Amino acid sequence: MNRGSIARTAIDPRHPVRVDAQMLDASALPSYAFGHRSLMWWGTLGLIAIEGTVFALAIVSYFYLRSLAPRWPLNALPPELLWGTLNTVVLLASMLPNHMLKRAAEAGDLRRLRIAFLACLAFSLVFLMVRVFEFRGLNVWWDTDAYGSVVWLLLGLHTLHLITDTYDTGVLAVLMFTGPLEGRRLVDASENAQYWYFVVLSWLPIYFVIYLAPHIPQ
């Protein structure tokens, strides 16, 4: 018996070939794929798991500190509902061009893809601007007390994601205009859309905690 024959025939070409060796021919397989078939999808999923856990733990910390406090907010008015609610609407609306982006990427339609990228970037501009007003409307500073600290933490963490998502989208948008392109870039665009979904949807529980939870009796 030919122990180690994989080594002998497949790696070490100095040794004789196995007569009944047969090949699985991969040459005709596609060279890229969308969704969970792609490596990028799994990388993005890993990022989502990590960031989702961070958000979840920050939210748990919020309620933990609240459970120990005599009143909540401690010494401040609750955050103004206007700006947060407005931004929630903007973020949710941004899912439309984002979805268009994903479909265009999977269809390979460059024209629609470029339009979708520009639309997404426009939305980014708006929600980042409104986010500035949100911070000002929090009615508390990060160093006032623990309530201020945890509210700024939540809003700050999410804002970090908005900024990095905007930057990613911007870089890809430029690439869509300048090239060089290949099929894999369509997958990158599709996965960017995936991440965008996460950034928008993860906002919803954070919105609830920052803006609505102070109105719920302890």
Partner 1 sequence: MSSTAFDALKPSGMPRPRGNGVPPTAADSAALERTWRDPPGLVGWLSAINHKSIARRFVLTTFGFFLAGGLLALLMRLQLAVPRNTLVGPDLYNQLFSMHGTTMMFLFAVPVMQAVAGYLIPLMIGARSVAFPRMNAYAYWVFLFGGLMLYAAFLLDIGPDAGWFSYVPLAGPDYSPGKRVDFWAQLITFTELSALLEAAIIITTVFKLRAPGMTLARIPLFVWAMLVTAFMVLFSMPSVMLASTALIMDRLVGTHFYNPAQNGDVLLWQHLFWFFGHPEVYLIFLPGLGFISAIVPTFARRPIFGYTAMVLSLIATGFLAFGLWVHHMFATNLPELGKSFFTAVSMLIAIPSAVQIFCWLATLATGRLNLKTPLLFVLAFFFILVMGGLTGVMLASVPLDLQVHDTYFVVAHLHYVLLGGAVFPLVGAIYYWYPKFTGRLMSERLGQWNFWLFFIGFNVAFFPMHLLGLQGMPRRVYTYPAEMGWGTMNFIATLGAAMIAVSVLLFIVNLLRSRRHGEPAGPDPWGGGTLEWATLSPPAAANFDAIPVVHGSNPVWEEATRPPGTPSAVGGLAVDAREQLVTSVLDAQPDHRSQFPEPSIWPFLSAVATTVLFVGSIFTPWAVVWGAVPVAVATTAWFWPRRRETRTHVALEQQP
Chain residues 149-208 in contact with partner 1, contact rule CB under 8 A: 149-150, 152-153, 167, 171, 175, 178-186
CA nearest 163: which of 128, 198, 118? Answer: 128
How far apart (Å, rounded) are the C-alpha atoms in residues 207 and 41?
Answer: 27
Least CB distance to partner 1 at residue 95 (A): 24
Question: Residue 205: how many CB atoms within 10 A of its CB?
Answer: 13
Please identify which residue in the block is written with the tokens 């103004």.
80
Residue 92 or 141: the one with the smaller Cβ distance to partner 1 is: 141
CB 80 within 8 A of CB 64: no
Least CB distance to partner 1 at residue 75 (A): 9
Least CB distance to partner 1 at residue 101 (A): 14
Backbone angles phi, psi at 44, to 5 degrees: -65, -40
Task: Answer positive or negative: Cα dihedral of 69, 149, 206, 81.
Answer: positive
Residue 183 or 205: the one with the smaller Cβ distance to partner 1 is: 183
Return the residues of window 3-62 that contact partner 1 according to CB under 8 A.
3-7, 9-13, 17-18, 20-34, 36-39, 42-43, 46-47, 49-51, 53-54, 57-58, 61
Return the residues of window 67-106 that contact partner 1 according to CB under 8 A.
68-70, 74
Residue 40 or 90: the one with the smaller Cβ distance to partner 1 is: 40
Return the residues of window 130-149 that contact partner 1 according to CB under 8 A.
142-149
Residue 24 or 216: the one with the smaller Cβ distance to partner 1 is: 24
Query: Does 217 help bind partner 1 (rule: CB under 8 A)?
Result: no
Residue 90 or 154: the one with the smaller Cβ distance to partner 1 is: 154
Contact residue for partner 1 among 81, 82, 107, 204 (CB under 8 A): 107
Interacting residues of 26 by C-beta distance below 8 A, sequence separation 6+: none
Interacting residues of 145 by C-beta distance below 8 A, sequence separation 6+: 74, 75
Give the interface size with partner 1 as a residue count (CB under 8 A).
Answer: 79
At residue 36, the 3 state secondary structure works out as: helix
End-to-end CA distance of the chain: 75
Residue 61 or 139: the one with the smaller Cβ distance to partner 1 is: 61
